[in-house]
Structure 1
Amino acid sequence: MNTRPFQLIPGYLFTVVFVGLMIQTLGVSAQPHIYPAPPQQRKIVLIHGTIHVGNGKVIPNGMIAFDRGKILAVGETVDTSGAELVDVSGMQVYPGLIAPVTNLGLVEVEAVRATRDEDEVGQIIPSVRSIVAYNTDSKVIPTLRSNGILLAHIVPEGGLIGPTSSVVQLDAWNWEDAAYSKDIGIQLYLPRLYPSSPEAETRALQQVNTIKQFFQEAAAYYHEPQHTHRNLSFEAVKGLFDRSKILFVHADLEKEIWLALDLARTFHFRMVIVGGADSWRVADELKKNEVAVILQPPHSLPLTPDDPVDLPYRTAALLQQAGVKFCIGEDGFWQQRNLPFEAGTAAAYGFTREQALEAITLRAAEILGIDSLTGSLEPGKDANIVVSRGDILDMRTSQVEMAYIQGRSINLDNKQKDLMKRYVYKYGLDMDTTHIY
């Protein structure tokens, strides 16, 4: 028998145990009625809606037919034989929106380390796959679907040359079901090239040399017919050299973007700039080198005090005028629900609302290499469809009523809606006059 006196659990250990139990309890009890939809069982035709195809074309009072997860026809009239007819009169029909850069599913509670899996240890870690860490049970995911976001590019952090990223659809039981396009690219996090001190400048230059040396060695490894020893990091970036993968370079400043362009020319990479606050300054070179941009959210401050205060709003239009391929992104994970409103703001500063819609649908799909599957409402593509009562780009009028992912009718409830209904009930409010978004 153990006769040692009872010992108190150390404070930090108690905190870990308590938080772990709370997370487990929340995971079991929250939103038990929200679960992935079954496969589409029969042909569906949406009728009498205003269809925004996603490529700039709009069909008033149009129809869209889809079966077995694929779009069959879109137009003023389509074949409705054997179909379930869904009347969407007075509503707007859109392609499913795409979040082009997010750590959704890799973070749940930012203040709790045990729920953050977005950052990996190490400087050169391209062999790490973010898709296997994606949490389909995240309570944040339904809040995105409620605003029409049906696909997301899951981007991890960590190191200089980071893990691979993948595209997921946002209605799945596990990461294998969620995977829409796996391991599409490698993340490169360039050091800030306007350092705050001589020491920081020396460190940044050393990191740049490390990046260049790695790619030089990886290129030599790629061109070797046989390898004495297998290098997992070099194996992971082989797709960059045969252009089957994309190098996503996280860079904002003009000097950083020039460095990225130098890498693209040297190694002939397919490259996308992520952030790109200064991308408008080098737009001609971006177009010449066929480098696309995932723009930082327009709802942000200018990069430097000398920039015009409305520059983040106008950057999308500046790239549009220069002929640079781009899409609009949002920060973080829970903020992604605001993605359509970011595009709506940009639409007020130099381009049309259909062009703004393209920037979060078809252009995003093209940049991520999934435009043969999604991004627009065209025959042969997946039936990723959103039906909204009001303009989906306008936070005042947008109210998503229906959504389909690969033809499956998606549950649009979420924890926030549940809380709204709870307090509408508590205070005896009229559900018919209370807007629940």
Structure 2
Amino acid sequence: MKPLVLSFALMTASPLVVNAAPIAIINARIETAGPLGSIRQGTLVMDKGRIVAVGSGVTVPADAQIIDAKGKVVTPGLILASTSLGISEIEQVPSTRDDGAGGQIGAAFNPAAGVDPDAPSIGLARLNGSTRAFLTPVAGRGGNGAHAHDDSAFQTAGGHEEEDPTLFAGQSIGISLAAGAPDMVFKSNAGMVLEFGETAAAAAGGSRGASLIILKQVLADVRHFIANRAAYDRGEGRELLARRLDLEALIPVVQGKTPLLVRVSSANDIRQILKLAREEKLLVVLEGAEEGWRVAKDIAAQNIPVMIDAQAALPSSFETLGTHLGNAAALNAAGVKVSIMGSRDYNNLRQSRMNAGTAVAHGLPYQAALASITLNPAKIWGVDKDLGSLEPGKIADVVVWTGDPMEGQSYPSAVYIGGVSQALTSRSTELATRYKPRADGSARPAYRN
């Protein structure tokens, strides 16, 4: 059978194409983010939702649809490491926010039921090359410490309200950004989110020391609950600080089976968390870590990964006085696994790749920057067996870019999620088409005088 060659114009015009035949992307610069590294001119073949082959000497199947990507760059789909995508739309409108439970539930909160597949921001995320996202709840709903358009992902973790749960914000989940997916959640209970530093101090009455005591007591309560569940059910035994729902949710954390994502900024607070991780034998991930460069060797020594906003350049609080743009490079040089986040300003979803580019400009090696928005988030959340790099056998989340994805003027020419071509449209592009004047300059009928 003669191979079918598709143009990018044809590919991007159709809304959603389920490909019966294999697809071969040829003549591309392939950035695998995996063991194969960078391939100057290569071919990637995908079939039945998986990557079949990738390399410079790949044989193209006879029945394959061929995509000629000459002059373009192919990467894995970007993975948003920590976001409220799909569970929060307008920060200052509470009715549009399902990213926090307020004071009703703490560690037990799971945001899965609030994921809106029709959220306009999801199409926008695909337009920017994102194929998967991990949703991480926030402890507050934006009060004292949050800003409507704050570019710092950590800062928009929200301020404390009197009725908020103590420290724990809830569980992280992973979602696919594929259009028309019957269930977007592909990984539930991926980890637990904990607020620390100034936010935790506020929750504990104003003291970091008090917040640490409360945290240790909750962890001790969970272990007591595991060992004395029958007595607890009979109403016997000592009083526990946490509610039953939270105790149940925290069991995998204290058993070291799921990671504890800790939002923390200052070097001293990071040291406290590192000590806690050693004592309690926890799998810890740091988010924020604006002063992480100051304790980079300590973080690396415990093999703890870090999620950062590489654009954070100026202190926004006392706990971020040591913020600077070389944070990612310093952490990476020390041997820390770095994942670069975008913004929780939900309409600004280019920021993960833009922030990665900023980190490159301030000393982070290019391949490390690429891994920080692809493979490293997959490793942190335990899905790297299937996602995060272009390797045979992995799920075919693939993006074809017009140029370097870390350059602001580049954009996706094609996006595949699970081997399925995604329409490169969003509510913004649909509105632009709707209101765009006709070729002769005349207005659409509904907008004529």
Structure 1 counterpart SS, 2:210: helix
Q: Equivalences for 1:190-201 in 2 at 5 Å?
A: 190-192=196-198
Q: Per-residue displacement from partner, 1:76-97 (whole Å, max 9, x unpaired)?
A: 1223222211111111101001
In 2 relative to 1, CA 307–243 (structure 1 residues): closer, same or farther, beyond 3 Å?
A: closer
Rounded to whole Å, the distance in 2 between the matches of 1:35 and 1:364 is 30
Q: 2:54 aligns with which of 74, 84, 91?
A: 74
The answer on 1:187 being equivalent to 2:187 is no
Report deviation, 1:380: 0.9
Match in the other structure for 2:414:
402
Match in the other structure for 1:294:
307
What residue identity is the alignment partner of 2:220?
Q
Bigger mean CA offset, 385-394 vs 115-124: 115-124
The answer on 1:64 being equivalent to 2:44 is yes
Q: Per-residue displacement from partner, 1:241-277 (whole Å, max 9, x unpaired)?
A: 3322110000011122122112211211110001010
Q: Per-residue displacement from partner, 1:313-363 (whole Å, max 9, x unpaired)?
A: 211000111111111012213223321111111101112322211110111
| Aligned positions, number | 392
Bigger mean CA offset, 109-118 vs 343-352: 109-118
Q: 2:210 aligns with which of 206, 213, 216?
A: 206
In 2 relative to 1, CA 224–129 (structure 1 residues): closer, same or farther, beyond 3 Å?
A: same
Rounded to whole Å, the distance in 1 between the matches of 2:200 and 2:103 is 23
Rounded to whole Å, the distance in 1 between the matches of 2:104 and 2:293 is 30
In 2 relative to 1, CA 211–342 (structure 1 residues): closer, same or farther, beyond 3 Å?
A: same
Residues 222 and 241 in structure 1, CA contact (< 8 A), matched pair in contact too: no
The answer on 1:425 being equivalent to 2:432 is no
In 2 relative to 1, CA 412–165 (structure 1 residues): closer, same or farther, beyond 3 Å?
A: same
Structure 2 counterpart SS, 1:47: strand
The answer on 1:360 being equivalent to 2:373 is yes
What residue identity is the alignment partner of 1:244?
K
In 2 relative to 1, CA 224–291 (structure 1 residues): closer, same or farther, beyond 3 Å?
A: farther
Report deviation, 1:137: 0.9
Rounded to whole Å, the distance in 2 between the matches of 1:200 and 1:163 is 17
Q: Equivalences for 1:299-314 in 2 at 5 Å?
A: 299-302=312-315, 312-314=324-326
In 2 relative to 1, CA 224–288 (structure 1 residues): closer, same or farther, beyond 3 Å?
A: farther
Report deviation, 1:162: 1.7
Residues 34 and 413 in structure 1, CA contact (< 8 A), matched pair in contact too: no
Q: Percent identity?
A: 29
What residue identity is the alignment partner of 1:379?
P
Q: Per-residue displacement from partner, 1:188-226 (whole Å, max 9, x unpaired)?
A: 011418979xx9874443333222111111122234475
What residue identity is the alignment partner of 1:162?
A
In 2 relative to 1, CA 122–210 (structure 1 residues): closer, same or farther, beyond 3 Å?
A: farther
Match in the other structure for 1:170:
177
In 2 relative to 1, CA 171–289 (structure 1 residues): closer, same or farther, beyond 3 Å?
A: same
Q: Equivalences for 1:63-142 in 2 at 5 Å?
A: 63-81=43-61, 82-122=63-103, 125-142=106-123
Residues 285 and 307 in structure 2, CA contact (< 8 A), matched pair in contact too: yes
Residues 107 and 192 in structure 2, CA contact (< 8 A), matched pair in contact too: yes
RMSD: 2.9
Q: 1:244 aligns with which of 257, 262, 279?
A: 257
Rounded to whole Å, the distance in 2 between the matches of 1:364 and 1:383 is 17
Q: Equivalences for 1:136-151 in 2 at 5 Å?
A: 136-151=117-132
Report deviation, 1:306: 11
In 2 relative to 1, CA 391–428 (structure 1 residues): closer, same or farther, beyond 3 Å?
A: farther
In 2 relative to 1, CA 421–428 (structure 1 residues): closer, same or farther, beyond 3 Å?
A: farther
Match in the other structure for 2:147:
none
Give the unaligned 5+ runs of structure 1: 1-32, 430-437
Structure 2 counterpart SS, 1:386: strand
TM-score (structure 1 length as normaliser): 0.82
Q: Per-residue displacement from partner, 1:275-305 (whole Å, max 9, x unpaired)?
A: 0101111111111111110012415423568
Match in the other structure for 1:259:
272
Residues 330 and 339 in structure 1, CA contact (< 8 A), matched pair in contact too: yes
Residues 106 and 117 in structure 1, CA contact (< 8 A), matched pair in contact too: yes
What residue identity is the alignment partner of 1:275?
G
What residue identity is the alignment partner of 2:25?
L
In 2 relative to 1, CA 312–419 (structure 1 residues): closer, same or farther, beyond 3 Å?
A: farther
Report deviation, 1:391: 1.1
Rounded to whole Å, the distance in 2 between the matches of 1:367 and 1:34 is 35
In 2 relative to 1, CA 428–110 (structure 1 residues): closer, same or farther, beyond 3 Å?
A: farther
Residues 106 and 170 in structure 2, CA contact (< 8 A), matched pair in contact too: yes
What residue identity is the alignment partner of 2:110?
R
Match in the other structure for 2:330:
318
Rounded to whole Å, the distance in 1 between the matches of 2:131 and 2:324 is 25
